[in-house]
Amino acid sequence: MVDGKRFAAKRLQKFKASEIRELLKLTEGKDIISLAGGLPDPQIFDVEDLAEIAREVILEKGDKALQYSPTLGVTTFREELREFTRSHGIKVKDTDDIIVTTGSQEALYLIGRVFIDPGDIVIVEEPTYLAALNVFRQYDANLIGIPIDHDGMRVDLLEEKLVELDAKGLRPKIVYSVPTAQNPSGVTMTNDRRKKLLKLAEEYDFLVVEDDPYSFFLFEEEKFDYLKTLDPNGRVLYVSTFSKIMAPGLRLGWVVADKSIIALLELAKQAVDLHTATLPQYIAEEALKRGVVRKTLGKAKKLYAKKRNAMLEALKDEMSDLATWIEPIGGFFTMVFLNDRSIDTSELLLKALERGVAYVPGKSFFVNPDKGKHSMRLNFSYPSEEQIREGVRRIAATVRAAMVEARAS
Ligand SMILES: Cc1ncc(COP(=O)(O)O)c(C=O)c1O
């Protein structure tokens, strides 16, 4: 048999399968409570309305909906998206400032493809979204992590880093942020920090990627402006997705940016997939027009708020003496930091799986994995409230057992 690897391009050496993903794969089909994933609860999928829309779209607009379509996205869908995005508080000048992507993951991939040369500096929050790190690594970015606290990215430390780089004649090309209800930590950046970040972008001449899947699920009143809305000179690329507000299986995302940037993304996308699948765009357009997305959001917000509360209560009951955590005002996740910093949560995962619970070890979310060794990300959007409580109880039991074992040895 031919060994495919023999023919692989050199760049493939950088494509590393995540060990954690491999480990979690083994748990599929087993009786394990998973607090690991980032899936929406399927209860929020509006199957009746979507089935009706899909049928109508195919029968009545099949000539267009089943056809090839423009790389930028179906124009009428982009017009609906423009209005939806505006109504959510994000500044969009016009329809041509939008490109539709195959999930927001493709948007991140295209951004990497268009802007990152090997060695270019990309600054990220630490911790940050794992799959964004993977994209930037595939493009050989020089990654720098800036810590977060309860108010989001430590923009003061970003400034220190920029001064330090500047002294060496270096500047970042991109600062990537998930400023609202962040994945993995759940924190939201304050408005002062948002303004400061954009001021620094002007001063040090870099682009800002605002990755925003979760601002639609805020459980508490929080006053802030989107980076894109605060952006005076078109430095911000706003990225969002239908994955959490409607259904990830549609694979629809979008970018709002200055036309000069959209044109570059369009150029790169032509070679990747010609265009995002046409049919889901027509379905999503109708779903926006008929208020299905708003309905789904209303349902999802209530459901996720209850689950977030269940998670916070369980943590308080089971882990107050073992860890600290961030209380998210929105999104799908919280991050737990163990008091005992000698525990490596990657090693602990095997024991947690034996006790029937899974989480994502914190290491994966850090540029420097050692910094995240004693942390873990917990998801509350997918498991039931009962599973959340039982899952946290099992994690607490696993941590306690590890501490006893460490003392004994
Ligand atoms: C911060 C962030 N960005 C991007 C994505 C990618 O989502 P999708 O490709 O489904 O739009 C996710 C998914 O969980 C995410 O959490």
Separation CA 96–CA 74 (nearest Å):
11
Nearest atom (ligand 1) to Cα of 182: 1
Ligand 1 residue neighbourhood (C-beta within 6 Å): 38, 103-105, 129, 178, 183, 211, 213, 241, 243, 248, 253
Q: What is the pLDDT of residue 217?
A: 85
CA of 328 to the centre of ligand 1 (A): 17
User: Looking at the DSSP assignment, which residues form a beta bridge with residue 409?
Assistant: none
CA of 409 to the centre of ligand 1 (A): 42
Q: What is the pLDDT of residue 405?
A: 85
CA of 216 to the centre of ligand 1 (A): 13
Query: Which structural domains are found in the chain, ordered by start?
Result: 4-45+298-403 (3.90.1150.10), 47-293 (3.40.640.10)
Q: What is the pLDDT of residue 406?
A: 81
Q: What is the pLDDT of residue 259?
A: 96
Find out whether 193 and 151 touch, Cβ atoms under 8 Å.
yes
Q: Give the residue, out of 41, 81, 104, 364, with the most ligand 1 atoms within 8 A of its beta carbon, to mutate for a pocket test.
A: 104
Question: Which pTM does this prediction carry?
Answer: 0.96
CA of 63 to the centre of ligand 1 (A): 31
CA of 408 to the centre of ligand 1 (A): 42
Name the stretches of the chain with pLDDT < 70.
16-20, 23, 26
CA of 332 to the centre of ligand 1 (A): 11
Q: Each residue of 26-54: pLDDT tens digit?
A: 677 778 999 998 899 999 999 999 999 99
Q: What is the pLDDT of residue 20?
A: 66
Separation CA 378–CA 36 (nearest Å):
6
Q: Give the residue, out of 39, 124, 129, 304, with the most ligand 1 atoms within 8 A of its beta carbon, to mutate for a pocket test.
A: 129
